[in-house]
Amino acid sequence: MKSGFVSIVGRPNVGKSTLMNTVIGEKIAIVSEKPQTTRTRIQGIYTSPDGQIIFIDTPGIHKPRHLLGEYMVKVSTRSLEEVDLIYYMTDVSRPFGGGEQFILDQLKDAAVPIFLLVNKIDLANESKVEAHIKDFTSQMNFAEIICLSATLGTNIPGLLEKTYAYLPEGPLYYPEDDLTDQPVSFIAAELIREKALILTRDEVPHSLAVEIEEFDSQAKGKTYLRAVIYTERDSQKGIIIGKNGQMLRNIGEQSRQDIEAMLGRPVYLDLWVKVKKNWRDNEINLKQLGYRLSGGDY
């Protein structure tokens, strides 16, 4: 048996979460077109007859503008430690820039093999893909270079085959039917945030956080779930609620459907909206909302 941990790093919106969801076969990490959708470390567990791969999906590495951003970058850079393999994921439709150079500088001291994953090849011709690869290989050597489409699943079987080839022999770290190390309440909160990201305007999404205040799976006939969507300003709260409460109803309805599909039973979703001013720059608020690192940071 082969088993090990694989960290997936890259800039925001290159397809890291989509790749993990595609491999696992379930929505473990939320996705949207908004940058910096992933905010914390999420493990997806893939088990096959060949062994077990624990994927670590991380926030996109970017220039932080607040404490939450600093937390996200620390999560990503720390994920390079104590893993067996690193996927450095890039988007072939985006040019090489300062953000990519910053990540490459972080990777140069890595003690494990690094795969260069060139994503979204369905959006580019062969010459563009070749030029994109050259931009990166001129900077450092990679153990493997794999072109793929995380959305379509192109070349995913080959990626998994090569991943197993680099992993050490070892036991299964998790039971065969586990798909993630995250509790159901965390995934439920993320599904609510995903719907709010997708349905609201550009000025709102990054200021949103979701907290599950009560999760009662023993409720008669259905699971009771009370959740709060936090915004940073009263004007954002108004946008989330919408005219006559219609936006909040839409968020709640779409979230409830996804949560029911995940749990396999009916859900009563009690959804509220509250203002927590400037929570992204407040250490106490970050801890309360679950954004904390080990070792005393935040």
In the DSSP assignment, the letter for residue 123 is: G
How far apart, in Å, do the first and last CA atoms of the chain sit?
38
Q: Spell out the residues 6+ positions from residue 138 whose beta carbon is closer than 8 angstroms to its own.
A: none
pLDDT tens, position by position, for the chain (298 residues)? 999 999 999 888 899 999 999 999 988 887 777 766 777 778 899 999 999 999 998 877 767 777 888 887 787 777 777 799 999 999 999 989 888 998 998 898 899 999 999 999 999 999 999 999 999 999 999 999 999 999 999 999 999 999 999 999 999 999 999 999 888 999 999 999 999 988 987 667 678 999 999 999 876 788 999 999 999 999 999 999 999 999 999 999 999 999 999 999 999 999 999 999 999 999 898 888 888 755 444 3
Length of the chain: 298
- What values do phi and psi take at 209, rounded to 5? -140, 155
Backbone angles phi, psi at 81, to 5 degrees: -90, 145
pLDDT in tens, 79-118: 777 799 999 999 999 989 888 998 998 898 899 999 999 9
Report the predicted TM-score, pTM, of the whole model to 2 decimal places. Answer: 0.87
| Domains parsed from the chain with CATH numbers | 2-166 (3.40.50.300), 184-296 (3.30.300.20)
Q: Which two tokens stand for residue 5?
A: 């941990």
